Amino acid sequence: MAGIKEVASRAGLSVATVSRALSGKSNVSSRSRRLAQEAARELGFVPSYHASSLASGRNHNIGLVVPSVQRWYFSSVLEGVSETLLDAGYDLTLYNVGEQPEHRSSILNDFLLRKRLDAVIAVALVLSEEEIGQLLAVHRPIVAIGGALRGASTIRIDDERLAMLATRHLIGLGHTRIAHVTGDAALNRDFKLPQLRQKGFTTAMAAAGLTLRQEWQATADFTIQGAYAAGRGLLGTSAERPTAVFAASDEMAVGVMLAARDFGLQVPQDLSVVGIDGHELAETFGLTTVSQDPRGQGRLAAATALALLDNPSGNPDGGPAADGARDQEYPTEFVIRNSTAVPPDTSARRG
Amino acid sequence: MAGIKEVASRAGLSVATVSRALSGKSNVSSRSRRLAQEAARELGFVPSYHASSLASGRNHNIGLVVPSVQRWYFSSVLEGVSETLLDAGYDLTLYNVGEQPEHRSSILNDFLLRKRLDAVIAVALVLSEEEIGQLLAVHRPIVAIGGALRGASTIRIDDERLAMLATRHLIGLGHTRIAHVTGDAALNRDFKLPQLRQKGFTTAMAAAGLTLRQEWQATADFTIQGAYAAGRGLLGTSAERPTAVFAASDEMAVGVMLAARDFGLQVPQDLSVVGIDGHELAETFGLTTVSQDPRGQGRLAAATALALLDNPSGNPDGGPAADGARDQEYPTEFVIRNSTAVPPDTSARRG
DNA sequence: TTAATGGATGGAAGCGTTTTCATTAAACGC
DNA sequence: GCGTTTAATGAAAACGCTTCCATCCATTAA
């Protein structure tokens, strides 16, 4: 319950000096600083952040907007952001948009505008121009991860290119009958990521002169269980089977691998599977994948936001952008494990 | 940028009346209310929550402390809490304790004390008496989920009883060689849940006069991949194999099922597997489990916290506890699917 | 008609900090 | 030794709301 006044009187100093001493400002004698700190400790003084924020305009609070908190990518980003903010002494206010559209609009219209946030980190948020306008209207740094946002600093991976990479890997091994598991309609409404990866797939296939078969384009909800069902549909057919599957996420790739086992298909002998993500499961199941590091992306996003706060102009040391918005591509790594191999019967069919 | 003053002058009202009008208080004529709302809308006025909180003492902000954000249980709880708070117009400040002990202590010592939170929801937090003291020192409602906390309202499931239930189910089917996969040392340090479930298992085994074999007590980190490795150790042995496995979580149960497949063991013909949780994967893989609903628990926890704010005494309508701390057991459901069956060769061995 | 009641209103006093500004004391250069 | 920086300090003014309190006016009761 002790306020800064009590601390001041106990330390025999003025309120102003105590405030300066405790917040590490200059122009305080070491003796006063010690006195203030001792008194504060003895009284168990913790500054009221409301009063502090009101007076100083700094909130020590950053907002994170995520579409979901269950999916691996998002919870990993969240973890990275949380870690960095905790270290910096910042609070993290979480807005989980979820499925309900009214949550979405109330977050954008009310919550984000309440001047409680120093900055906003938006993960994979697809916004209309109007919504972007609302967001920018708060005049706070905005950092976007996994999807560019006009006017915001962006941290991203090149989903399309990575999808091409993964697909080319299969093509390079000699596969021609390649299936793709992408996000389903519900997901694609809100994220462009599945479409980007699908586009990369399509482009790579076209470049290799391979035909896309409609029946080999499956959709699922980016979960193991969803892709397992999709995989059963894809592989359980009596018609011709694909010899390789490119799944738009590692979890979905694992789902496909599990479905394959159900039909007695060996991976990679009978079926090659490749994913994208770098999920922990990928290592366990020997999945070839393009590994990204969402936790690291989260850390970088938080660090970027913090840097923008220190330096609102956004030009720390002669960086490229003058308006504070910069675009960073986060490094990824193609990890070849043993879920991909040359197609079965290559010699018999081709030789 | 508009403040309440601008709104007041535009509406031709006093600041006081505008404040009352916009926050839905009584003693405002409908005309003044309309005038205030119109002016506010026209100016795009959003109240500063710092000023508001400072003046009123209400923060509209609830803190959630979780040990991790990656595990299914925690992210599900988080989702439920977030949902309910969003509907109530409350902000959610997330503290992800994670692995680092210094984060743990800074959360308890600094973050939670900054008077920014109206209430705290703690998930599966094991605290020392001293730490509990610190928490209670904030004099805010505290709600605990998944682990009791002295002095806090608690929402929990009876992990020990549920584990007994699951084990008894296997015993009832005729199994005698039952293995258990529990949490590993690192996890058990911070959570008592694995131990509780293990204890339920042990008790049920003892009650049935069955011996516990040390080599059939495996540990993993509550992930699919961890339990997969543990399962390979458990089942890949040349020594006698268990005929049933009780895994302390559904994800671990799935890991064990996957390991079983590697050795050509059919579930449930060769091996019965039972879990606890009600994870989405359980349905896909036909896993018998005790289903809890962490999302619902999260919703309930948030609702409980909000109720305590409206009624600090904690006696909404003659409830049991007088000090505001009540203990609610959340309902669970035993779901029998097809991962459990009578042990193999029962007739041959026993008949 | 007068007194009493009660709803609507505005002025102003907080809420607990930070920060500006003026002041004082000390250190410095010449 | 004197004027001039410079560091340290405290008084007081924000910060932008909420809410207490006093006031006013329109009712209703007596």
Predicted confidence (pLDDT) per residue in A180-218, tens digit:
999 988 777 777 889 999 999 999 999 999 999 999 999
B320 versus A63: the higher-pLDDT residue is A63
Mutate to test the interface with B, among A1, A96, A283 (most CBs of B within 10 A): A96
Does residue A348 have a pLDDT over 60?
no
Q: How far is the CA of B116 from the C1' of D10 (A)?
A: 29
d(CA B306, CA A232): 45
Does residue B238 have a pLDDT over 80?
no
Q: Cα separations (Å) of B175 from B13, B271, B348?
A: 78, 10, 14
How many CB pairs below 8 A link A and B? 142
d(CA A140, CA A152): 10
- Whether residues A116 and B224 touch (CB distance < 8 A) is answered with no
Q: Return the DSSP state at A200.
A: H
Answer whether A54 touches B (CB < 8 Å): yes
B285-327: pLDDT as tens digits: 899 999 999 999 999 999 999 999 987 654 444 344 445 568 8
Distance, CA of B290 to chain centre: 15
Tell me the shortest Cα–Cα distance from A342 to chain B, in angstroms: 22
Q: What is the pLDDT of residue A322?
A: 44
A262-297: pLDDT as tens digits: 898 999 999 999 999 999 999 988 999 999 999 999
Sequence letter at residue A292 = Q
- B13 within 8 A of B32, measured Cβ to Cβ: yes
Q: What is the pLDDT of residue A125?
A: 83
Sequence letter at residue A276 = I
What confidence tier does B4 reach under pLDDT thresholds 50, 70, 90? very high
Q: What is the pLDDT of residue B135?
A: 79
Name every chain B residue with its beta carbon within 8 A of the beta carbon of A261. 261
- Whether residues B116 and A83 touch (CB distance < 8 A) is answered with no
Work out the percent of chain B whose per-residue pLDDT is above 90: 71
- Whether residues A50 and B47 touch (CB distance < 8 A) is answered with no
Does residue A318 have a pLDDT over 60?
no
Tokens in use for A135?
């967001």
Q: What is the pLDDT of residue B319?
A: 43
Per DSSP bridges, beta strands A119-123 and A91-96 are unpaired
What confidence tier does B96 reach under pLDDT thresholds 50, 70, 90? very high
- Whether residues B223 and A110 touch (CB distance < 8 A) is answered with no
- What mean pLDDT do residues A134-163 have? 87
Answer whether A261 touches B (CB < 8 Å): yes
Those residues whose C-beta lies under 8 Å from the C-beta of residue A207, and which sit 6 or more positions away, are none
A133 versus A292: the higher-pLDDT residue is A292
- Whether residues A76 and B94 touch (CB distance < 8 A) is answered with no
Nearest to B251 by CA among B223, B273, B276, B274: B223
Name every chain A residue with its beta carbon within 8 A of the beta carbon of B95. 82, 86, 92
Q: What is the pLDDT of residue B276?
A: 97
Nearest to B340 by CA among B167, B181, B161: B167
Tell me the shortest Cα–Cα distance from B201 to chain A, in angstroms: 28
Q: What is the pLDDT of residue A350?
A: 42
Q: What is the pLDDT of residue B188?
A: 73
Q: What is the pLDDT of residue A325?
A: 65
Q: What is the pLDDT of residue A324?
A: 54
Name every chain B residue with its beta carbon within 8 A of the beta carbon of A53. 50
What confidence tier does B139 reach under pLDDT thresholds 50, 70, 90? confident
Longest Cα separation, chain B: 93
The pTM score is 0.91
Nearest to A174 by CA among A120, A224, A129, A210: A210
What confidence tier does A62 reach under pLDDT thresholds 50, 70, 90? very high
> Range with the lowest mean pLDDT among A25-39, A77-91, B308-322?
B308-322
Q: Cα separations (Å) of A312 from A93, A325, A348, B23?
A: 21, 10, 64, 33
Pick B113's closest partner by Cβ from A46, A91, A95: A46
d(CA A282, CA A287): 5
Residue whose CA is minimally distant from D12 C1': A16
d(CA B207, CA A140): 63
Pick B114's closest partner by Cβ from A49, A70, A224: A49
A11-21: pLDDT as tens digits: 999 999 999 99
Q: What is the pLDDT of residue A321?
A: 46
- What mean pLDDT do residues B101-122 have? 87
Q: What is the pLDDT of residue A349?
A: 46
> Range with the lowest mean pLDDT among A113-127, A289-303, B156-170?
A113-127
Q: What is the pLDDT of residue A320?
A: 43
Name every chain A residue with its beta carbon within 8 A of the beta carbon of B70. 72, 75-76, 79
- Whether residues B98 and A82 touch (CB distance < 8 A) is answered with yes
Tell me the shortest Cα–Cα distance from B279 to chain A, in angstroms: 11
